[in-house]
Each structure stands twice: as C-alpha cells, then as structure tokens.
Amino acid sequence: MTERPVDLSQLPSNGAPRRSLFSARKFALMASVVAGLGAAVYGFSPQQGPVDVFTSAAHAQVNQEVRKVERPIGFADIVERVKPSVISVKINIADKSSKDDSANKDEDSPFPPGSPMERFFRRFGGPDGLPPGLRGGPRGGRGPVTGQGSGFFISPDGFAVTNNHVVDGADKVEVTMDDGKTYTAKVIGTDQRTDLALIKVAGRTDFPFAKLSDSKPRIGDWVLAVGNPFGLGGTVTAGIVSASGRDIGNGPYDDFIQIDAPVNKGNSGGPAFDTNGEVMGVNTAIYSPSGGSVGIAFSIPASTVKNVIAQLKDKGSVSRGWIGVQIQPVTSDIADSLGMKKAEGALVAEPQANGPAAKAGIQSGDVITAVNGEPVKDARELARTIGGLAPGAAVKLNVLQKGQDKVINLTLGQLPNTIEANKADTDKEDKGGLTKGTGVPKLGLTVAPANSVAGAGKDGVVVTEVDPKSAAAERGFKEGDVILEVAGKSVATAGEVREAIDAARTDNKNSVLMRVKSGGSSRFVAVPLAKG
C-alpha cells in the first residue's frame, strides 16, 4: 500500500497516523514560534489588536536607558584640533656618487654601514621613513635622491620635530602644512643615538603647534598617529599603546613605546597623540616583514624628546653623562653566583681606564643597584639614567662590591661621540699557535697560561679547546677567549681555575662566575657547575 500525503485540514481529531500526527505537532510548534516573533515585534492586545512596540511606552523607556550608556569615543574633535600642527617633510640629497663611488651601499638604506639604524633596517625590513621609500637616482646611488617623512611643530615660531634618519644628509628640507602651504626648513641639530632632529621654519610666529605630554602613557591607552605615509599627507590612524620600554637593538638608550596604530613608510618623525591631544611619542620605526604595517610600531617617548630637543635648540647637539664602564645584565645565574636574592641592577664588566668610575673605585664584578637613591632595574636603565644627566653632575651610586653594599660618589664625564678601538684588542688570525693546554673537565674546557700564547697578553688563561657538548660551549666560550677571573679571583693556570671551581662547589654554588675577555671586550659569564 502506498502512503499518500496527508491533508492536515482533513485529519480526524480522534485518530491519525502517528507519523502524520507528529508532523502536525511540529507544524503547530513552528506556528507558535512565528506567532511569538510577531508578538515580539508588534505585541498584541485582545481589545485593541496589534500594537507597535517601537512607539510604545516600554520602548521609550528602553530608549532612555540606552542613551545613558556611554558610547564609544570618537576622535574627530581631537583630530580637528591637532592635525594642523603636523607637517609633511620632503628632503633632497644631491648627487654625491662622484665623491664616493667605491662605497658599495644598498640604495635603499641611507644609514652608515654597521650603524644601529642600519642594523635595525636590515633586521626588521626598515624603519618607516625614507628607506626603502627613497626615490630618484639609479641603482648604485648615482643621481639626486628625494625622500619623505613626517614631523610636527612644537612652537608658534616654527620649531619642529622629526627623525634624524629623515633629514640626515639632506641638502634641502621642505615642509608642507595641512593647509597645503610649503616652506623651506633649516636643520638646527640632530641626535643619531635617539634618532631625533630639530628643524626650523622662518617667517611666521603663528604656526599651529602641539604640546609634548608630561605624563607617561599606560598600556591600553588610545593613541592617534598622524603623518605622511607613502606621501599621503594628513593621514590619521588609531590604535592603542601595546607595550612600553621596548628594546629594538638600536642602542643603549632604547626605551620605545610600542603602538598598534597603523604606521607605514613616511610616518617617520610624525607624532603619536593621546586623547588629550598631546604628543606621547615620535614615531620612528616599524616591524614589517612585508614592508607595510602589521600592527607593530615604535615611538620615542615624549620625556626623551623633551630632553633631546631642548639641547638641540640650545646648542645644536646633545651631551650625555658618562661614568666609563662596560656593563651587562644581571642574569639569574649571575645573581646566584654573586649571592644576590634578585637578578637586578647592572653588572660592571670592566671600568674604562681613567674614566670617572675607575677613579672613584668601581671594579670589575661590581653591581650598580641605584643612582641617586633610585633603584636600577637593569643595564639599559642604568645607561638611560646616566645618559639623561648632564656632564659634570655629581651622582651617588649604590654598589654591591665583593658581597658588600657601598655608596660611591663620583662626577660624571661627557660621553665621547666615538669609541676608539683598542689596537691590542683587534682580532688576530694568528694566535701564535694555541698550545694543547690543560683540561678542566668540570667545565668542558682546555686552557693554557696566557703568557705562553703569543698575542694573548700576560693575564689569565687562554681557552685552547671547547667541548661542543659542554655547559661552557652553551654559554658561548670559544677558542682564543681569555679567562681573567673565576669566582672573583684572578687565575693564571689551569690549577687555579680548578681550585676556584672547587671552592665554589664547597660553598654550594650552582654556578661559577667568570670574567672573560673576548674580541676586545670583557664580560661576565655564569657557568653551571657539574655535580659529582
């Protein structure tokens, strides 16, 4: 027997196929859902019929409650106020190829080979300014070059801030305002270490200008980036502060604000505004494997900008305090070997001869823990703190020296513009033939007295062989390194190295601290001690 479709209108109330009854129930349920939707939208009154809830008293009450809820912030009012202070910066560099045809430089990088910004450019795909947005000149650097960046006025008489790498080497600088007016600018001063530059536009005293913020931004704060990406002047993007205190390998003064507001090539030198319309930072670099914004950009904090720009305006250059030490971070292994409870402060690898620190009695292995009573978190913070002080200033350093807390007073010198290379420390291919040496099995090293190896000097022991599977190899030891001290004691033979290690084990140390000279500089290395 073939089952035929059932007409629900003809079903008897007291009997029907079970399957068809289920279908009827399902139909009724669906009908009730539809009716419910209709009631939700219109409402229903048995006396008055359908009621439009959108005009009902209930809807009016809901509307009132919605109005009370805080709505998302718009940035139009802020942008309208600050945008006129932002400028596009265009530079021209004349053809200099005839003066230096021998230099084989990447045409996309205006930075000196080996400079911090050049290394950052090659590592991260380029800071967001001129490179690789340079235009003009065929491959090899022949012909004039033009480039574009951003900046902003900081005073009504025409002083403006931009990046050093935007105007570095420029023969002509032009700025274009938001209203389209163009002016010629003069470079007042630059600072390569922080990548900041001060320029000046003459002829007016009523330029719209921005204020540098006095407060430190918090992670999660709104940020507005305004600039000239890809030559599109007056572009505004928004995001938040993603992180602070970033070190991007540019130098010892790295203290960047990380933001996720889209920043691209040409934004370099432009401001990052907070919601008060004040400049929290100057955009200087991006992380960009693709060449465009991926949501990671870096800004120089307003506090740094204030200090640097004030000096550039006053004398056209920046002078920084200097104590004359090579420093390195205090790792957990180093802290353990020194008996410190926390891995903090800056470890002095070596005081420079005749520098303020050496004259004041600071020694290799000392840990600087505070400057003028303010705790020092790490080596970078010490460099920034000292660099922010004026040469000639008197400072008080808290130092951990041979397990004892000391206070050392000294007068800051001036940070040299260049660091002279030590001829005795240049890399030597000929070590005079490394001797076989004596093994130190507990470290995986073979060493020989330095005075027995030509070119190694008279102090310490020379590493002649490294077990590739040893802890020493993991810590970066290599042939030719000179071990000067072990556990704070000078060593001259393999026997003295072993004695110092045994003493550290007797004291229940998990690692032993060594001062190692390698490639012209000294450093401390904490090597774990093998058990047994």
What positions carry a catalytic annotation? 165, 195, 268
Question: CA 107, CA 138: separation in Å to the nearest integer?
Answer: 8
Residues 6+ apart with CB under 8 A from 457: 424, 450, 451, 482, 517
Kindly report each contact of residues 422-426 with a partner whose C-beta sits within 8 Å and lies 24 or more positions away, as own/partner: 422/520, 424/457, 425/519, 425/520, 425/521, 426/520
Q: What is the DSSP-derived secondary structure letter of residue 72?
A: P
- Enter the tokens of residue 89: 């910066």
Concatenate the DSSP letters of all residues of 246-258 into one string. Answer: E--SS-TT--EEE
- Enter the tokens of residue 64: 């009132």
Question: CA 483, CA 492: separation in Å to the nearest integer?
Answer: 9
Q: What is the DSSP-derived secondary structure letter of residue 385?
A: H
- Enter the tokens of residue 76: 């139009």
SS3 287: coil
Question: Cα torsion for 419, 420, 424, 425, to the nearest 10°?
Answer: 30
- Enter the tokens of residue 312: 């550039």
Question: CA 88, CA 201: separation in Å to the nearest integer?
Answer: 13
CB 245 within 8 A of CB 287: no
Count CA atoms closer than 13 A to 426's CA, side-chain side: 6
Q: What is the DSSP-derived secondary structure letter of residue 212?
A: B
* Residue 375: how many other CB atoms lie within 10 Å: 11
**Alpha carbon of residue 344 to chain centroid:** 20
CB 256 within 8 A of CB 287: no
Question: CA 124, CA 528: separation in Å to the nearest integer?
Answer: 34
- Enter the tokens of residue 2: 């073939």
Concatenate the DSSP letters of all residues of 26-47 into one string. Answer: HHHHHHHHHHHHHHHHH-EETT
Count CA atoms closer than 13 A to 257's CA, side-chain side: 31
Question: Cα torsion for 403, 407, 409, 415, to the nearest 10°?
Answer: 50
From the list 164, 297, 271, the residue with the least C-alpha distance to 211 is 271
